[in-house]
Amino acid sequence: TVKDQYSRFEIEDPASGDQEGGLRRLQAAAAAFPRSPAMAVWIGNTHRGWEEWPAALEAYDAALALVPNHPDALVGRTVALSQLGRAQDAIQTATRVIENGQWMVGEAYYWRAWNQLRLGNLPMAREDADRARTQMSNARVYVLSGVIEWRMRRLETAERDFQQAVTIDFGECEGAFDLGIVRDELRRFPESLAAFKQAGQCNDLS
C-alpha cells in the first residue's frame, strides 16, 4: 500500500526524522496482514540495518513460518545468526538457500564461507568463497577471499584479493587495512604504509 511504501521511505532515509515511526507503521501493517511474509521481511531488514540482531531474527523467523523457503528471509536469517555468533545454525540456513538453487545463492555461499572461516574450517571456507565469486563480484567477497588466503598463509594471493577489493571500492576500509598487514608481512614496507594511509583516509571519510 501507499502507507507501507511511505513507512519504508521513512526507515530507509536517515533524513526523514521518524525512522522509528516508520517501523511502527510497518508493524501495524504486519498485524493487519498477518499472512504477508513481505511485511515480516521488511521489519527484519529494518532491524538488520540497525544491527538489532535478535529482533531481526525474530522477524525473519516469522516470515519463514509463513513461507518456509522465502529467499530474502532465509538470507536475512543467515546474516542475523552469523552476527549472533551462531555459526552452525547460519551454515544450515545458508545451505537451505543453496539447495533451493534459485535466488540469492551467491549471498548464501558468501555467508556460509564467512561462518566456515569463523569456525576455522579453511578448506570449506575456500570452496564456498570461490563459489560466491562465480555468483557475484563485489569488494566484500574479495575481502573475505583475502582473509581466507591470509589465514592459509598464501600471502601473494591474499594481497591480490585485497587489492581487488579496494580497486572495486575505495571505501572498503577493512580491505585497505588488511592489504597493509599482508604487505607488511611480505616486507613491502612502502607499499604497506601506502595501504595503511588509504585505510586511514577511508575511515576518516566513512
Q: What is the DSSP string of 26-54?
A: HHHHHHHSTT-HHHHHHHHHHHHHTT-HH
Place of cell 566513512: 206
Q: Is the pLDDT of residue 6 over 80?
A: no
How far apart are alpha carbons 86 and 99 in whole angstroms?
Answer: 20
Given this model, what pLDDT does residue 161 score?
A: 98
| Residue 84 and residue 54 in contact, taking contact as beta carbons nearer than 8 Å | yes
Percent of all residues in the chain with a pLDDT value above 90, rounded to a whole number? 78
- Tally of CB atoms within 10 A around 117: 20
- 154 three-class SS: coil
Q: Is 17 left (phi over 0), alpha (psi -120 to 50) or beta?
A: left
Band (35; pLDDT cuts 50, 70, 90): low
- Amino acid in position 52: E
Contacts of 194 (CB under 8 A, 6+ apart): none
Contacts of 122 by beta carbon, 8 Å cutoff, 6+ apart: 116, 148, 151, 152
**Mean pLDDT of all residues in 123-133:** 98
- What is the band of 15 on the pLDDT scale with cuts at 50, 70, 90? very low
Quick one: pLDDT band at residue 50, thresholds 50, 70, 90? Answer: very high
pLDDT of 9 > 50? The answer is no
Residue 20: what pLDDT?
A: 67
| CB-CB contact of 147 with 118 (8 Å) | no
Per-residue pLDDT tens digits for 74-112: 999 999 999 999 999 999 999 999 999 888 999 999 999
User: Residue 18: which residues within 8 A CB-CB, separation 6 or more?
Assistant: 10
- Note whether 18 and 46 are within 8 A (CB): no
- Burial 14-48, CB ≥16 within 10 A → b, else e: eeeeebeebbebbbebbeeeeebbbbbbbbbbbbb
